[in-house]
Structure 1
Amino acid sequence: SDVLRLKQADVFDDYGAIKQHAFIKDKKTGKRNTLYLKPVMMDLVMYQQWLKRNGYEGTTEWLFPSTTRPQKHIDERQFYNVMAKVGDLLDINYLGTHTMRKTGAYRVYVQSNYNIGLVMKLLNHSSEAMTLAYLGLDQVSREHMLDKIDFG
């Protein structure tokens, strides 16, 4: 929901170039969070082109404008509907509004060699325990992982 409230000026500079960072305030906790945009730069370039082609550039301040009311951003319900349609097209029945955040966090966790501190900071969580629980890494999951390690 926090990303849905981004404005084009939060992501693109006055010349249309993509900024290195965007800043959001977590609606749930009130904490500020910095979004590092370099990993999604090409996606943002393609999205910016889509905004231009579909007449949204210069007509709305929102990065994710409502298609019916471009003076407003899409809301969580609209985003859920979009994700549900994508899930139907891909034959994935669990694709929802939170899936991308959770999947992204888990991928960072694995690809960063299980750096829970990094994931905790990215998610703006206040503890590693909260992040582990969020990722679904409870005691049983940890024990299954440990069973596969050769302490030899």
Structure 2
Amino acid sequence: MAQQIVLPIKDSNVLRMVQDTLLDSFRAGRRNYTVFQVGKATLLRVSDVMTLKKSDVYNPDGSVKNTAFIHDKKTGKANTLYLKPVQQDLLKYHDWLIQENINSDWLFPSTAHSDRHITEKQFYKVMARVGDLLGINII
């Protein structure tokens, strides 16, 4: 697969438009928005965000853990994620999963196959669509 070059969004107005579009323009908008927010807050690669499990970020009672511990897929290094900046987003997302009756071990399951997580390719397509909707090039 060709390496995707992802540039940071430096303009706060563009960032807000991207967030609003992710949330409002897709059936799984809450999931797409939360993927984006978790990536932004943790600075993880998309591949590592996609492979997070619900048990990595949620306690059994549905509350959000303060920190998550993962292994970076590319480097194999242990990584500590501080989840406080996205705690509210993750709580709303947890409610959305329950409301949509989506039951999966994956934090970001595919809407078509909840036993699998959304793929990087799917998420890049979502981001490309956001760029098209906003008339900007974000990937």
**How many corresponding residue pairs?**
93
Query: Residue by residue, what CA displacement relative to the aligned partner does 1:41-96 show, whole Å, maximum 9, x if unpaired?
Result: 1111111121112111xx210100011111011111011111112222233212x3
1:76 is aligned to 120
Q: How many angstroms apart in 2 are the aligned matches of 1:7 and 1:51?
A: 13
Larger RCO (alpha carbons 8 Å, 6+ apart): 2
Q: How many angstroms apart in 1 are the aligned matches of 2:70 and 2:134?
A: 30
Report the 3-state secondary structure (helix = DSSP H, G, I; strand = E; otherwise coil) of the residue aligned with 2:118: coil
Please tell me the residue identity of whatever aligns with 2:116. K
Q: Residue 45 of structure 1: which of 86, 91, 99 is its match?
A: 91
* 1:66 matched to 2:110: yes
Q: Structure 1-normalised TM-score?
A: 0.58
* 1:33 matched to 2:73: no
Q: How many angstroms apart in 2 are the aligned matches of 1:33 and 1:92?
A: 33
Q: Which is greater in Rg?
A: 1
The alignment-based identity, stated in percent, is 57
Runs (4+) of structure 1 moved beyond 3 Å? none
Q: How many angstroms apart in 2 are the aligned matches of 1:16 and 1:77?
A: 29
Segments of structure 2 that go 5 or more residues without pairing to the other structure are 1-46
Q: How many angstroms apart in 1 are the aligned matches of 2:136 and 2:107?
A: 26
Segments of structure 1 that go 5 or more residues without pairing to the other structure are 97-152
Cα RMSD after superposing both structures: 1.2
